[in-house]
Every structure is written in structure tokens, then in C-alpha cells.
Amino acid sequence: MYVSHLSLADFRSYETVDLELDRGVTSLVGPNGQGKTNLVEALLYVATLGSHRVPSDAALIRSGADRAVVRARVVRDDRSRLVEIEITNGKANRARINRSPVPRVRDVLGILRTVMFAPEDLALVKGDPDGRRRFLDELAVLVTPRMAGVQGDYDRILRQRSALLKSAGAAMRGSRGAGDLRTLDVWDAKLAETGAQIIAARQALIGALHPHVAGAYEQVSGGQGAARITYKSSLDAAAPVDENPPLAGAPASYSEGAGDATGGLDQLATGRSVMPGVHLLEARLMDAMGRLRTKEIERGVCLVGPHRDDLVLELGDLPAKGYASHGESWSLALALRLASYRLLTEADGPEWVTDWGIDGEPVLVLDDVFAELDSRRRDRLADLVSKAGQVIVTAAVPSDVPEQLEGARIDVMGGQVTRVL
Amino acid sequence: MYEGAVQDLIDELGRLPGVGPKSAQRIAFHLLSADPTDVRRLVDALIEVKARVRFCDICGNVTQEDQCRICRDPRRSATVICVVEEPKDVVAVERTREFRGRYHVLGGAINPIAGVGPDDLRIKELLTRLASGEVTEVILATDPNVEGEATSTYLARMLVPLGLTVSRLASGLPVGGDLEYADEVTLGRAFEGRRRINA
Ligand SMILES: Nc1ncnc2c1ncn2[C@@H]1O[C@H](COP(=O)(O)OP(=O)(O)OP(=O)(O)O)[C@@H](O)[C@H]1O
Ligand SMILES: [Mg+2]
Ligand SMILES: [Zn+2]
């Protein structure tokens, strides 16, 4: 798939801008602060309904404006679809596909798929777990758009349940009655139901991703050591010793020697009722919440669930975080993105053949990454992505774009775009 | 900021749901330049609605009498109750022409963030209605979002042990949406495909 047209109104620094794009490589070149990242951020927004730089939409709206509009034409299997999203501050966003409004903005997910490499990716390795959880969850949505609904519901349930725990705790500490704990069982069940699906999806994803991460790390680093990814769940910490098999460690899809990456993804494509392990996870979540109840009320927070889990990255036998060198961390971050790209390119499970057509290959975006890499890694990365269907590269100076990626060039200067090549 | 009365009007309008500061200003200036008889009609309608409209003693729907039209209609089955969050949901379900029973309006959904618990909803009134034994089936038609689902689950856990047939509207409804925005076809199909919660 590729994006043939991008136009913005009141998005970030742009009052209006129109950009024609084509298959192959396009580089956006211009000095710092001129609006290159703003352009690719808009593409990412169409694919994920979020930004890699800010958690909320407010910063995306041009300062002084009420709302931003992002419009992208996505071509896939010779079918083109126009996606329009209106981002409004403090109100619900709206979206249209081919000019007709859709009931929920979420419905645009799945039309455009992107994989973005950005300087911020280093935080995947060095930063807090929430960045790694977001990495997994965003990928899960690109593979199965349905997961966006589950994740949205889970976040809402989490907030509702936390509010209930807080008020119950306050009521218990105070002289007044026991608070409204009658509905806590209901929220437990809802949290377990959606939380189990998220954990199962992440495990399936890690199973499918692992061989790609290992392969990509070897390529980017030039064969220095083995990268490993595993899931670490708050369920394990909550379980009494020896009662449940640990979730951490290699997920079944490859630890049992199946080694079949698409097997993991097939699991993700199927609904909740058949996703293997979901019912067990649901039961374990319920059990853990039962045991933690007093503690949860005391502290007023939800102590178990996918929001407390992590993706563990290891190089050799050591955790990457806190041990890996700067260069190794960079290679691992790149390997995670490359692995996502390969996974999405290869994914051909039953559901997405019918839903998405065959051309599911994501648009690759490399924002400012080459300037950060030494020349060997820069060359290897350029080789690895040069054959992708559509690649968009940003750089401050033309010489930052490796020669393997020579293609169309657009200069970005003070909110103006000019096609140069 | 505008002077006195104009700003007061803008402030009042701005407190209405879905009306932002800009729209409030637009409406205020529209009213200022509008024909006095048109404005009078609006004022009368507002006063009328507050003076005459109340909530049905039985189901909690809006009505101008003690009881709403649906509760007074002898042709409506008294053995099935459809539980909804708001009066506007009654209208939405009525549009499908699928349902011949009566309603129960909860007046919201369980929402700890907003401080709404079971006691803030008309759940006690529902249990009182069920106590007579005439009702044999309850259809839970709360909004298909997190709060609506939680409310339905809470009610189901309470009602199933009473030996009633309890069902929840089947999916097909957009998850995360408001019942009132579902189109008739979708909502109608959801009604047909409703599934029992107790086996
Ligand atoms: N909401 C907004 N309203 C107006 N201007 C904004 C908004 N958000 C960001 N900007 C401006 O956009 C500019 C940054 O643009 P962008 O991040 O795209 O730069 P860039 O070309 O990628 O630069 P670099 O090479 O340093 O990465 C900044 O000058 C910033 O002030
Ligand atoms: Mg930038
Ligand atoms: Zn009534």
C-alpha cells in the first residue's frame, strides 16, 4: 500500500499543506524545526489515531486554531480510499472515509498501516514499560483493528475500577459506611474479560515477532549476539508460588518448538472465544484480583492486569535495559521496528486476506534516524528498507539520506513544501 | 466578554450539552436579531416543558400525566420489561417496532468516575415492579459501552436468581456507541438476536 496524497489543515505548524507522494522512496529535507516530523506524524495519526510524540491530541492542533484536519489518500490493491480525520480540542473527533462519515473514528484503523522509525524509539529499550506496552498494543491494532476497541474498553474499565477502589478506600478510612463495593465484582469481571484478551494478543504477537527481532538484530548489528523478547506479566507476581505456570519466559507458540510465526498471528485474528489461553488468563486475573482485593482498596489502584505488564528485551543473557550500550540499544530499537515491518508484510492469516486484500505492506517512515547511526548501521538499515513499497525519510541535510535511498525529494521550509526531485 | 444580559445568555447557553463557547455566542446573537414572536415561542416551550413534563410513576419515562402513554396502553404486554438508560433510548427502541412490552428507565448507568452507583439509578423501583410476579422476562438494553455493559451485568446478576428470563441485546450494535445513534435496522436486528444470559 502507499499514500498518494496527504493534506493538512491547522495541523501542528501547518495552516494548510498539500503533498503528492508516490511509491518508492521520498525524502523530506529541511533544517531543524521546519515541519518535517509534523508531516510524518500526520501519516502516523491516520494509521494509529495517536502521535508518537504526545499522549493527547491537543498539541496536534495548530496553536490558535480550534481543530485540525488530516486527509490522506491510501492506495491498496489499486483501490484508493480517502481518509479524513477532524481533530477537535476537548470534543470527540470525527472521521470520513471516501467522504462519508463513519460512526466511530476507530473505523478508519486498518486502512493505512505504517511502521515508523524515530529517535524516540530509543526509549523502547531504555525507557519505562509503558512505551513498550504501547509498542505491542499499537502493533496488535495494525494486525487486528478489532483490538483497538478492546484496548479502549480496557482503559475505560481501568479508570472506572480505580475510581471505585479509591472511593471505597476513602469510605473505609473515614467514619462513613463501606462505600459502594457492590459493583466491584462486576468491574473485576470486565477487567478480566478485556485484560485477558490484551495479554493473549500480546503473547501471540511476541511469539510471532520473536524470530523477526532476532533476525533483524543480527542483521543490523552485524551478527553481534542474540536478541530475545519475552512477556513479563503482573499475574506472575500476583500468583502464589508454584500455583500457576509462569507467564514470563517464551510464549508457547515458539517455546514448544512450533516455530511457526503465523501460527501466533492466527491466534490473534480469531475472536475472544477461541483465542487460546484467554479463558485461563481471565480466570487467573479474577483469582489475582480476589487475592489482592484488600491491598487494592487500601492503595486505590488496580494492581494486576496488562497495564502493569512489560515486554522484556534481552541481549545475550542480560537485560537490554541498564546493560546494553548506546549503540546496542539503538540496534535493538531498530530491530523491533524492522520486525514489526516484516511481520505486517508477511502476515497473511485468514482474516486479513479477505479484509485487507493482499497488499498489506505498511508504509515505512524513517524520521531522522540516519543521522543518529554510525555508517555501518546506516548502510545496513538502508539496504534493509530500500526495497519496501513506500518509504518516507526525513533528514536535515540531503547528505544524511543514504544513497541506497535516493528517490523523490521534497524540501520543507517554514511550513512550505517544494518538490525538488 | 459582553455586557450584562448578553453575556448572561451566552453563559447559560454554554452550559447546555454539546454547546461550546463559540456556538453559544452564535445562538445568542441569533436570538438577539430574531423576531420577538419566535423568541416568545421558544420561551413558552421552555417554561411549558419544566411545568408540565414529569417522569412516569411506573417506568421513569418522560410524560405529561402521572403515567406515560406506554404504561397506560393495555395492548402492551405487561410480562416483558425492557430496561434502558434514558428516556431517549425508549424512543430509539420504539422506532424499531420490534418490542411490544413495557420499559424501565434507569436514569443513567453505573459510573464510579462520575460517582454514580446502583443507588443513584432506579433499580429499587425496578425490583418493586418485578415483585408482583407478572413480569417474566427482562431485556437489558443499556448502551453498548463500558458503563452500560457493567450496568447490565450488575442487573443480570441480581435478576437471574429471581427466576426471570434475562436477555441482553445482541451485538451488532457498534461497541462504544450510544444506543440513540444506532440506526433502526441495526437496532432491530439486535433485538431479534438478543440472547439469554441465564441458560
Ligand atoms: N500545535 C502547534 N502549533 C503551531 N506550531 C507547532 C505546533 N506543534 C509544533 N509546532 C512547531 O512545529 C515545529 C516543529 O516541527 P517539526 O517537529 O516537524 O520539525 P522538524 O522539521 O522535524 O525538525 P527537526 O529536524 O529538528 O526534527 C516547531 O517550530 C514547533 O514550534
Ligand atoms: Mg523532526
Ligand atoms: Zn411509564
**By C-alpha distance, which of B133, B123, B120 is closest to B164?**
B133
Average pLDDT over residues A48-57: 86
Q: What percent of chain B has pLDDT over 90?
A: 70
Which pLDDT value is given to residue A415?
83
Is the confidence at residue B161, as pLDDT, over 50? Answer: yes
A91 is in an annotated binding site: no
B137 shares a domain with B114: yes
Domains along chain A with CATH numbers: 1-113+362-421 (3.40.50.300)
Q: pTM for the full model?
A: 0.82
The string of pLDDT tens digits covering residues A357-405 is: 457 789 999 999 988 788 888 888 898 888 889 999 999 998 889 988 9
For residue A361, give the C-alpha cell.
Answer: 505492506
CA distance B115 to chain A (A): 8
Decide if pLDDT at A336 tops 80.
yes
Residue B137 sits in the same domain as residue B184? yes
Sheet with strand B137-140: strands edge to edge? B102-105, B80-84, B137-140, B165-168, B195-196
Q: Please tell me whether residues B76 and B137 are part of one structural domain.
A: yes
Instruction: Specify whether B89 is located in the same domain as B23.
Output: no
* Partner A contacted by B176 (CB < 8 A): yes
Domain count for chain B: 2
Confirm or deny that A390 is annotated as ligand binding.
no
**Stretch B95-103: mean pLDDT:** 92
Separation of alpha carbons A374 and A155, rounded Å: 40
* CATH number of the domain encompassing residue B141: 3.40.1360.10
As a whole-number percent, the residues of chain A with pLDDT over 70 amount to 86
Q: Are A346 and A139 in contact (CB under 8 A)?
A: no
Q: What are A76's strand-pairing partners? A: A79
pLDDT of B176:
52
Cα within 13 Å of Cα(A363), Cβ side: 32
Atom 19 of ligand 1, nearest CA residue: A33
Instruction: Using the 3D structure, point to which of B13, B29, B52 is the last residue of a domain.
Output: B52
pLDDT tens-digit readout, B27-42: 999 999 999 999 999 9
- B185 and B88 within one domain: yes
Q: Is the pLDDT at A244 greater than 90, yes or no?
A: no
Residue scoring higher pLDDT (A222 or B136) = B136
Per-residue pLDDT, B191: 66
Q: Are residues B178 and B130 in the same domain?
A: yes
pLDDT in tens, A260-317: 333 455 555 444 444 558 899 999 999 999 999 999 999 999 999 999 999 999 999 8
Question: In terms of residue numbers, what domain contains B181?
Answer: 59-196
Position A125 pLDDT exceeds 90:
yes
* Mean pLDDT confidence for B167-191: 61
Residue A178 has pLDDT above 50, yes or no: no
Average pLDDT over residues A338-362: 67
Pocket test for ligand 1, best of A6, A19, A34 (most atoms within 8 A of CB): A34
For residues B149 and B66, state if they share a domain. Answer: yes
Query: Which comes out higher in pLDDT, residue A13 or B172?
Result: A13
Distance from CA of B125 to the nearest CA of A (A): 18
pLDDT tens for A196-207 read 999 999 999 999
Residues B69, B34 share a domain: no
| CATH number of the domain bearing residue B21 | 1.10.8.420
Q: What is the distance between the alpha carbons of residues A212 and A259, in angstroms, rounded to a whole number?
A: 11
| Range with the poorest average pLDDT among A28-42, A94-108, A168-182, B53-67 | A168-182
* Beta-carbon count within 10 A of A245 CB: 12
> Where does ligand 1 bind, in terms of residues with CB under 6 Å?
A 12-13, 30, 32-38, 59, 61-63, 368, 396
Answer yes or no: is A38 a known binding residue: no
Tell me what pLDDT residue A231 has: 95
Q: How many CB pairs under 8 A join A and B?
A: 59
Q: Are residues B82 and B178 in the same domain?
A: yes
Reported as a pLDDT band with limits 50, 70 and 90, residue B71 is very high
The whole-number pLDDT of residue A263 equals 44
pLDDT at A384: 87
Q: Which residue has the higher pLDDT, B183 or A100?
A: A100
B131 and B64 co-located in one domain: yes
Q: What pLDDT is recorded for position A255?
A: 33
Grid coordinates of A413:
521550509
- Tell me the average pLDDT across A105-110: 85
Q: Is the pLDDT of residue A22 over 90?
A: yes
* A121-137 core/surface letters (b: 16 or more CB in 10 A; e: else): bbbbbbeeeebbbbbbb
Residues of chain B with C-beta less than 8 angstroms from the C-beta of A186:
110, 150, 153-154, 157
Task: Encode pLDDT of B143-159 as tens digits.
Answer: 988 999 999 999 999 99
Average pLDDT in chain A: 85
Percentage of residues in chain A with pLDDT exceeding 90? 57
d(CA A154, CA A191): 7
Q: What pLDDT score does B181 carry?
A: 56
ipTM of the complex: 0.78
Statement to judge: residues B40 and B78 lie in one domain: no
CB-based contacts of A391, cutoff 8 Å, min separation 6: A24, A25, A26, A363, A364, A365, A366, A385, A405, A407
Are B78 and B156 within one domain?
yes
Task: Considering only CA atoms, give the Rg of chain A.
Answer: 22
Residues A1-17, mean pLDDT to the nearest whole number? 96
